[in-house]
Amino acid sequence: MAKCVIIVFFASIGFSIKAQTIHRITVAINQGADCPITGLSQSDVFAVYPNPAATSFTIQSSIREAEIKLIDLNGRKVRSAKMTDGELKVDVLDLPKGIYIIRFEYQSGSDRIKIRIQ
């Protein structure tokens, strides 16, 4: 049986954008011969602000290129865009209020973040 030591840190990055503090989760993995976990990096960080959003939100990332999909809670894709320079602004003024999932798909994997449209 494989054994891995996984440590998760949650901390403020230390800056604010429009009164929204950006947070990040750092995952430290003690990888060895018995640890099959791959593809995670401390540098794979996505910041989404503001959250909640009224007219638009911005995504900033250490990952320069990613496919971004905005999905409603019924599983329907309501927006998609390609991030090519580590930053993307997404307009949401025409979307109904509610909770959405932002799905990031990039070369080494994918991530999800919830966002509230108000």
39-92 per-position pLDDT tens digit? 544 445 788 999 999 999 999 988 889 999 999 999 999 999 999 998 999 999
| DSSP secondary structure code for residue 53 in this structure | B
Count of structural domains within the chain: 1
β-bridge partners, 70: 79, 102
Proportion of the chain above pLDDT 70, given as a percent: 63
The CATH number of residue 33's host domain is: 2.60.40.3080
